[in-house]
Amino acid sequence: MPWRTLLNRRDRLPANPDLAEGFSTLLQQLGTVIPFELAVLGGRSMATPGLAFLVGYQAALRMLWPSAPMSLGALCATEQRSLRPADMQTRLSGLRLSGRKDFVTAGDAAEWLLVSARSEEPGADPRLSLAVIYLDEPGVRVEKLAPIPLMPDISHGRLFLDNALCELLAGDGWDAYVKPFRTLEDVYVLSAMTAWLYGVGQDSAWPQTLQLRLLGLLAGCAEASRQPPTGAAGHVVLGGLFAQFEGLKAELDAALAQGPSHWAQMWRRDQAVMELAAGARSKRLAKALAQTSVL
């Protein structure tokens, strides 16, 4: 991570209602970057917490699929609010997909989608494969959902697949993709949101000690990004980073309250996104602690 670049960065891109165009502009500005740099430098450059979240999400996707195109994408796994393979009804037959995914982040703006689908033989235990589809292919339709109060500037969609042609990624869909993505998303969204807050702190002249603690948290995120997403040690490190982030809340709220009101309003509206996966994260941490016996 080129820390000097972050420390000297002061520019912020204006919010673009066209999420795909806004992300393309960011990539052109950043040039060639690794996913962690995309999350941090991109998160720092965003106009809203929602857009910073989206950048972190895109960085996590690129850790999951390093060959991802230079455009907006999404992972499509959830069906009926469940990620369990046994609950999924989307099916793979040859190189054709049929089914439905209920909640796709920025799905209507994405160019490509990673879709988990059942692929076991009849009567066998549920097995997932992960496929790539493109939104301009026949049999692919995304229905844009109504905005929700949390991060209203980030759209969501419902995906419908009718015998849509796809490409398959190597490896088990659950073990190699869906399961580790939950950890990757935690790492890179935390990185992007912390970078966004650090940028607000720079622009608002927050106390130096708070800015330094945010930088320290980002340094910890850099280390977490180097850990395997399925390893117990990485989950313990990530648990420590979220505890550190939680410990900054009161100081962040106080600093935001003393600065420009629009930053505080956006953070009050969107900060709950950091709690959405808290339950699953807590379970992973408890399991990792039991395996490592470090605390």
Over residues 205-231, the pLDDT tens digits come to 999 999 999 999 999 999 999 999 999
* Residue 151 pLDDT grade (very low, low, confident, very high; cuts 50, 70, 90): very high
* Residue 150 pLDDT grade (very low, low, confident, very high; cuts 50, 70, 90): very high
* Residue 277 pLDDT grade (very low, low, confident, very high; cuts 50, 70, 90): confident
Question: Bigger pLDDT: 11 or 171?
Answer: 171
Mean predicted confidence (pLDDT) in 183-187: 97
pLDDT at site 295:
54
**Percent of the chain residues past pLDDT 70, beyond the cut:** 99
Q: CA-to-CA distance for 65 and 257, rounded, in angstroms? A: 40
Q: CA-to-CA distance for 12 and 46, rounded, in angstroms? A: 6
pLDDT at site 189:
98
pLDDT at site 140:
97
| Strand-pair partners of 99 | 161
pLDDT at site 72:
97
pLDDT digits (tens, 9 = 90+) for 5-20: 888 888 899 999 999 9
Cα 221 to Cα 53, 185, 282: the distances in Å are: 15, 12, 18
* pTM assigned to the model: 0.95
201: left (phi over 0), alpha (psi -120 to 50) or beta: alpha
* Residue 241 pLDDT grade (very low, low, confident, very high; cuts 50, 70, 90): very high
* Domain parsing of the chain, residue ranges: 3-64+176-292, 73-168
83: left (phi over 0), alpha (psi -120 to 50) or beta: alpha
Mean predicted confidence (pLDDT) in 71-99: 94
Spatial contact of 151 and 196, defined as CB atoms under 8 Å apart: no
pLDDT digits (tens, 9 = 90+) for 247-276: 999 999 999 999 999 999 999 999 999 998
Q: Which CATH class is domain 73-168?
A: mainly beta
pLDDT at site 268:
96
pLDDT at site 1:
62
pLDDT at site 215:
97
* Residue 137 pLDDT grade (very low, low, confident, very high; cuts 50, 70, 90): very high
Weakest mean pLDDT among 3-12, 84-93, 124-133: 3-12
DSSP 28-48: HHH-S--HHHHHHHHHHH-SS
pLDDT at site 102:
93
Retrieve residue 101's tokens. 């995914």
